[in-house]
Structure 1
């Protein structure tokens, strides 16, 4: 599997009922745990004071990442994503041969 740096920004559409937002956020939490257990979500952070997420995600390729992994998130229809493919750096202290 390949690794990707993914920046996700969620924008709730105007007029969306709070109950729908709460339902999707709860389902998002469940789905994130499932994706982590499957090896697709490696790490996830929220920059201090910001309403976006930055994470390391894994998939066979970018189409799979977009369509099957990120596309399975309940909040995906409200998200924009910046996806950057990653490769190991020769000086990475966590690099394995």
Structure 2
């Protein structure tokens, strides 16, 4: 699997009931744990006070990442994504071999 740096910005549509927002956020947390257990989500950060999250995700390719992985997130319909494919670096402390 390939690694991708993904910046997701969530924009809740105006007029959305807070109950729906809370329901999706709770479901998002559950789905993120499932994706981590499956090896698709490696790290996740949320900068304080910002409507975005930054994560390192894994998938076979960008299409699978968008459609099957990120597309399975409950907040995905409200998200915009910037996806950057990552390559290994010779000085990466996690590099093997």
Q: Please, what TM-score do these two structures have when normalized by structure 2?
A: 0.97
Structure 1 unaligned blocks of 5 or more: none
Q: Secondary structure at the match of 2:90?
A: coil
Indicate the residue corresponding to 1:33 in structure 2.
33
CA distance in 2 between partners of 1:25 and 1:48 (Å): 17
1:5 lines up with 2:1 in the alignment: no
Contact 2:70 2:76 in 1 (8 A): yes
Alpha-carbon offset, residue 70 of structure 1 = 0.1
Q: How many residues align?
A: 97
Structure 2 unaligned blocks of 5 or more: none
Q: CA RMSD in A?
A: 0.7
Q: Secondary structure at the match of 2:66?
A: helix
Indicate the residue corresponding to 2:89 in structure 1.
89
Q: Secondary structure at the match of 2:65?
A: helix
Indicate the residue corresponding to 2:69 in structure 1.
69
